[in-house]
Amino acid sequence: MSKLVGILTSGGDTPGLNSAIRAVGKTLLHADDYTLIGFLDGYRGLMENRFVELNDAFLSGIITRGGTILGSSRDKPHKMPVGGKIMDMTDVIVENYHKNHLSGLVCLGGGGTQKNSYRLAQAGLNVMTLPKTIDNDVMHTDVSFGYDTAMMIATEAVDRLHSTASSHHRIIILETMGHKVGWLALGSGLAGGADVILLPEIPYDEQVVADAILRRTREGKKFSIVVVAEGAISKSMAKVLDEENGKEKVEAMLKTRTPQLAAKLEQLTGRETRVTILGYVQRGGTPTPYDRLLSTSLGTRCAEEIKKDKWGFMMAYQDTKIVPVPLEKVAGPVKYIPKNHYLLDSARNMGVCLGDK
């Protein structure tokens, strides 16, 4: 009898999701004794038992498509808005899983999805996951798919801002996404040749940033490009927030302060300052070849593990190899940029201001 596997995409969408679905699906369908269904809109579709059959025709021609053909949501199994209340719907999900006679479930998502998938594994379900996120903050994988595409989009923005900043002799600040981490800002800032890069991992001092810009002015450079991660905070704010609890810290980090930073830099440097908040364009459109290859290799290897009836792992990319990592290891911790990361060294060695000294 054919084995039934379910697949879903959860959390913010990311380029590469469709090529991952395609890779898992084609590998399983190629094995003949598997049938694949896709639950719609993440864990919500699993809870409401809404799914489509993913046959070969359905999986055809989707490798170039951005977003997710299955839809996504940020709903969590144990905290789902239902009828105006937040409910723990884990039991309903477990019931649907068994009612459909699933052999297992593949969940594609970022840090939150890894945690939620682990919860479902603890509830007795066979679960495998793949790491996707433009933030690149999933632990135990060198990189998640979606990051490369987002970095390309953000780098192009930095490139384009150079010419207009130069024409008008302005400071231009580009805010990237990234949630609580700075990978996207660091990657695109360095690749785009930004003069200042501000990251959540390194609280900044506005005066240090202003001094770096004034130094450039003295050297005859009439414009400056600042790339700031949405979660970056000033040293003074970090001090206040350290006295608050963790949840408030995260919420505060995710409220944009870039317009205030611009006003402060304008005041400290006397130079006209403009802001570009890149937003959701970073998550849109077709995946880069790198993201297609990464999601394809993670997806095919995931399906190979499923064929061996191996469950309870996230497929990760480590040192050029695809490896399974137990879900309990990836559920929870966030992959921040380590203080000694080689890209931070490169930035400092070239005189890029990181806002701290």
Strands 85-87 and 80-82, how do they pair? antiparallel
Query: Minimum distance between the CB of residue 179 and ligand F6P, rounded to whole angstroms?
Result: 4
Q: Restricting to residues 219-248, which ones interact with ligand F6P according to CB under 6 A?
A: 230
In this structure, what are the phi and psi dihedrals at residue 173, rounded to the nearest 5 degrees? -105, 125
Angle among Cα 228, 339, 313 to the nearest 5 degrees reads 95
The verdict on whether 242 is a catalytic residue reads no
Tell me the closest approach of the beta carbon of residue 137 to ligand F6P, in angstroms. Answer: 8
Q: Which is nearer to ligand F6P, 112 or 324 (CB)?
A: 112
DSSP state, residue 109: E
Which CB, 285 or 324, lies closer to ligand F6P? 285
Pick 111 or 312: Cβ nearer ligand F6P: 111
Binding mask 45-84 for ligand F6P (x = CB under 6 A): -----------------------------x----------
Please give the residue whose beta carbon sits closest to ligand F6P in the complex.
177
Q: What is the rounded distance in angstroms from the CA atom of residue 304 to the CA atom of residue 291?
A: 20
Residue listed under structure tokens 């990189």 = 143
> In three state form, how does the secondary structure of 117-175 look?
HHHHHHCCCCEEEEEECCCCCECCCCCCECHHHHHHHHHHHHHHHHHHHHHHCCEEEEE
Check 13, 41, 75, 135 and give the catalytic one: 135
Q: Taking the C-alpha atoms of 204, 209, 211 and 212 in order, what is their torsion angle to the nearest 10 degrees?
A: 120
130 and 299 Cβ atoms separated by less than 8 Å: yes
Contact between 133 and ligand F6P by CB under 6 A: the answer reads yes
Q: How many residues sit close enough to ligand F6P to count as binding (CB under 6 A)?
A: 11
Min dist CB 72 to ligand F6P, Å, is: 9
Please, what sign has the CA dihedral across residues 340, 346, 350, 356? negative
> Smallest distance from the beta carbon of 254 to ligand F6P, in angstroms?
6
CB of 150 to ligand F6P, least distance (A): 8
Pick from 135, 175, 201, 206 the residue near ligand F6P by CB under 6 A: 135
C-alpha to C-alpha distance for 318 and 163, rounded to whole angstroms: 38
Torsions phi, psi for 161 (to 5 deg): -70, -25
Query: Does residue 179 touch ligand F6P according to CB under 6 A?
Result: yes
Site string for ligand F6P, 308-347 (x = CB under 6 A): ----------------------------------------
Q: How far is the CB of 126 from ligand F6P (least distance, A)?
A: 26
Q: For ligand F6P, which is the closer residue by CB, 68 or 133?
A: 133
Structure-block tokens of residue 50: 């809404």
Residue 13 CB, nearest approach to ligand F6P (Å): 8
Options 174-182, 195-203, 301-309, 335-343: segment touching ligand F6P (CB under 6 A): 174-182
Q: Figure out which of the listed residues 77, 110, 189, 192 binds ligand F6P, where binding follows CB under 6 A.
A: 110
Q: Which of 46, 177, 199, 228 binds ligand F6P (CB under 6 A)?
A: 177
**168 phi, psi to nearest 5 deg:** -100, 5
Exposed (0-12), middle (13-18) or buried (19+): which is 245, by Cβ within 10 Å?
A: exposed
Q: Which of 326, 209, 194, 320 is nearest to 257 (CA)?
A: 209
Residues within the interface to ligand F6P (CB under 6 A): 12, 74, 110, 133-135, 177-179, 230, 283
Show which residues are catalytic: 135
